[in-house]
Structure 1
Amino acid sequence: MAHGRYTVGDVMTRDVLAAARTAGFKEVVTAMESRRVTAVPVVDGDRRVVGVVSEADLLAKEEYRDRVPGLVEQERDLDRTAKAGAVTVGDLMTTPAITVSSTDPLPRAARLMAEHQVKCLPVVDRDGVLQGVVSRVDLLKVFLRPDEDVAAEVRREVVDRLLPVSHHSVEVAVSNGVVSLSGTVRDDGLVPLVERLARGVEGVVDVECSLSVPPRARPSPMP
């Protein structure tokens, strides 16, 4: 993964299991179990994403296995009761698919997953062609960055840029993803910004900031 602001393309899985509309119910269940995935993009002949089949879609068949939904229930949840009788991916899939681009930042992917309550998203190019899949686990890969890499980025992108005069008196240490900022700065008004931007560095778990202004640098009180 590259340094700097991470994108979906940095963490996504490129070796992707995909299904055609005509694939059968048991076929897709077998493939998902074999690959240990929770959802499969559905693609057309040009590998453009047209939908997604998830575990939730497949479980509708088991949910209604021992009973027939009544008319009121069918009207209330028409989509799910219809999926209970589906035998092909085209009838099972959820459409339209919620997708992201490989250039999207990780927070956007995380927000989409939370908003739509899904565990993964197909990654597509500008034509909608499947490029990969990004999952919740993929988004957590940034927390596997070595502490020294995180420290170097906090130093380079935050401390050196915001504190060009006093950066040499600031110590940056990282342990298990927790950033410690200590030392003295000339402008205490910048301290909250330094802390906030340090939290924005990929892989940072928390920030402990004890930056201070030396007494001689404080403005003298008015007489």
Structure 2
Amino acid sequence: MHDTPHIVSDVMTRTVVALGRGATFKDIVKTMQQWKVSALPVLEGERRVVGVVSEADLLAKEEFRDGDPDRYTQLRRLSDLVKAGAVTAEELMTAPAVTVPAYASLAQAARIMARSKVKRLPVVDDEGRLKGIVSRSDLLKVFLRDDEEIAEEVRREVVAHLFPTPIVPIRVEVSDGVVTLAGRIRDTTLVPVAARLVRAVEGVVDVDCVLMGPPRRPDLDADFPDGEEGRRTSGVGDTS
């Protein structure tokens, strides 16, 4: 399963504009406007990421411009008040920076973004040095994969390994990223496994497994229903 991007370094933007600790408030705003970005990494030394300045960090200055907040606001939003008086990147930045290693999977990067509620992440090497930036839109690029390309990977990497000798050849069809598996297999307990592995293929939107077990033999299986007893799984969260 290595035909398509699987790690952050495959989809990240490698040309990254960054700031030093001493960058001034106005320089930060100008840089964001010029490069049309909403956040900038702050570096020190050998391009090590020490923080990130975002538009939210800058807006505190505008929010508290008109006067002093009441005591309750002062206690509840102390960090924002500190940023309202800040004039350099070092004072404004959120630190430590939330970053992602270049070798992380796209799923790991997506989880970090969701957990941290950020739209982009600095990508770093093992020493914390900046290597690129990955955004939400970068992570969504995998869903642009061609349906036949997805189908071929499912056939080669899932079906061929799980069901090397099916009773009836497994049919793999993909439409708009939704994968359908159909056929007869010898062991229906493998259906949830197949569904889980197919969902792990990049670009897959959903999985519909219509895999049945061996047909009933009336002379030996009189107490069992017809061969339609095979398991079916459908939907992102269904694995049974």
TM-score by length of 2: 0.85
User: Across the two proteins, how many residue pairs are aligned to each other?
Assistant: 222
Say if 2:120 is the partner of 1:125.
no
5 Å-filtered alignment, 1:1-223, equals: 3=3, 6-166=6-166, 169-216=169-216, 220-221=220-221
Task: Write the distance in 1 (CA, Å) between the matches of 2:136 and 2:168.
Answer: 38
Shift of 1:217: 7.7
Gaps of 5+ in 1: none
Secondary structure of residue in 1 paired with 2:97: coil
Distance change (3 Å), C-alpha of 1:168 and 1:212: closer
Shift of 1:4: 5.8
| CA contact 2:143–2:204 (8 Å) conserved in 1 | yes
Distance change (3 Å), C-alpha of 1:215 and 1:83: same
Task: Write the distance in 1 (CA, Å) between the matches of 2:175 and 2:148.
Answer: 9
* Identical positions, percent: 55
Shift of 1:34: 2.1
TM-score by length of 1: 0.92
Gaps of 5+ in 2: 224-240
**Greater relative CO, 1 or 2 (CA 8 Å, sep 6+):** 1
Deviations, residues 66-118 of structure 1 (Å, cap 9, x unaligned): 22223442232221111111111111100000111011111211111111111
| CA contact 1:5–1:105 (8 Å) conserved in 2 | no
Task: Write the distance in 2 (CA, Å) between the matches of 1:9 and 1:144.
Answer: 18
Secondary structure of residue in 1 paired with 2:211: strand
| CA contact 1:5–1:201 (8 Å) conserved in 2 | no
| CA contact 1:49–1:130 (8 Å) conserved in 2 | yes
| CA contact 1:18–1:41 (8 Å) conserved in 2 | yes
Comparing 189-198 and 4-13, the one that deviates more: 4-13
Name the aligned partner's letter for residue 77 of structure 2: D
Distance change (3 Å), C-alpha of 1:167 and 1:178: farther
Secondary structure of residue in 2 paired with 1:43: strand
Q: How big is the alpha-carbon RMSD for the aligned residues of Structure 1 and Structure 2?
A: 2.1
| CA contact 1:119–1:136 (8 Å) conserved in 2 | yes
Task: Write the distance in 1 (CA, Å) between the matches of 2:217 and 2:69.
Answer: 75
Structure with greater helix percent:
1
Answer with 1 or 2: which has the greater Rg. 2
Task: Write the distance in 1 (CA, Å) between the matches of 2:5 and 2:89.
Answer: 37
| CA contact 2:16–2:132 (8 Å) conserved in 1 | yes
| CA contact 1:158–1:194 (8 Å) conserved in 2 | yes
Task: Write the distance in 2 (CA, Å) between the matches of 1:195 and 1:110.
Answer: 21
| CA contact 2:168–2:185 (8 Å) conserved in 1 | no
